[in-house]
Structure 1
């Protein structure tokens, strides 16, 4: 699932792009995004938990890529406040809770839908958003359903949508990949 999301995003990012890790967690997507960028590119990494910020900074420091990331200790529903209208090439979301952390602190349908819409507002043509919604925790399936309903209502003349979910697996995560249609501009 993660490999599919990363392959989808990698094709949309240029060295000077601005990208978002909307749910920093342990920092794996942040590291992936930072590796796609050059010195002028920026990852904006959001999380409400200081432990996630600490883990992410440690991971990026070890990789020598700390300077490519803006660390934002705020809810992902505040993307507009922090990016102030700057276009993005991509955004990655992992909806659920911090692996190894407090399972009662989770993303919610309300904040996630706000963040997703804000990302689409900033997404340049040819850009993409990946969403992995984990369903095995309380509220996870409801959030996945709300996000999928939202994505299914996106205007098809403006957005392409791909959905992947393993069949038969109990509480299988859902992967959604959304691309804004149009001529790709690389930034």
Structure 2
């Protein structure tokens, strides 16, 4: 049978903490996989905000949402062409402290310029912003890709950030396949 993939594990953790009517965030829209998952998870009564700096990512996400067989039952999605480090500024103040999940899928957008990657200089402030936006019991997931150029540096920085969080603020977990050190892995942070 095998273990869940890192993306499936991230989805599982979100499903356990977010549901119908909740507000959730996709910090890196990319191909729209997580955005669609979040829109399905919180349904028509919920709200999804999806960030990406690349117009191609937002177009792919928009297409994925429109092509979904369950399009009419999805939560409304607000697509924001902005870096995820601007989350606190762009999410309405009335939602701060009420977000149930924030998902990050770091690295680069497949099929485009592989040198355009997420970097610790913006990712770490985005993680802090996401933690501040979460409701108590809400979850932040970050899928990390140490196998591409620059990915190992970002993965190590995110892991240091999560490890340094005080237990009174959050609980953290790492899910990885130990025999494959360059394989993707996921870190989850549950806000206290």
CA shift, 1:67, in A, is 6.0
Q: How does 1:90-169 map to 2 (within 5 A)?
A: 90-169=101-180
CA deviation vs aligned residue, 1:72-117 (integer Å, no higher than 9, x gap): 0010011011113313100000110001111011101011111110
**Where does residue 72 of structure 1 map in the other structure?**
80
- C-alpha separation in 2, matches of 1:166 and 1:39: 36
Give the ranges of 4+ consecutive aligned residues of structure 1 lying more than 3 Å apart after TM superposition: none
Moved more, 163-172 or 134-143: 163-172
| Structure 2 match to 1:57 | 62
Aligned-partner Cα distance in 2 for 1:8–1:78: 24
Q: C-alpha separation between the residues in 2 aligned to 1:123 and 1:58? A: 28
Does the 8 Å CA contact 2:26/2:104 hold for their aligned counterparts? yes
Residue 135 of structure 1: how far off its partner (Å): 1.1
TM value normalised by structure 2: 0.90
Cα deviation, 1:21-67, whole Å, max 9, x if unaligned, reads 00111000011000011222111100000100000000001111576
The Cα shift of 1:170 comes to 4.9
Call closer, same or farther: CA 1:57–1:156 in 2, change over 3 Å: same
Q: For 2:144 and 2:181, how far apart are their aligned partners in 1?
A: 14
- Show the counterpart of 1:46: 51
Secondary structure, aligned partner of 1:102: coil
Deviates more, 1:168-177 or 1:14-23: 168-177
> Over residues 132-175 of structure 1, what are the superposed CA-to-partner deviations in whole Å (9 max), with x where a residue is unaligned?
11111111000000000000011112211110121222511121
Distance 1:77 1:166 in 2: 29
CA distance in 2, matches of 1:164, 1:58: 30
Distance (Å, rounded) in 1 between the aligned partners of 2:181 and 2:187: 18
Helix, strand or coil for the counterpart of 1:16? coil
- Deviation of 1:14 after TM superposition, in Å, equals 2.2
Structure 2, gaps ≥5 residues long:
1-5
- Paired residues, number: 181
1:176 corresponds to 2:187: yes
Name stretches of at least 5 consecutive residues in structure 1 with no aligned partner.
182-187
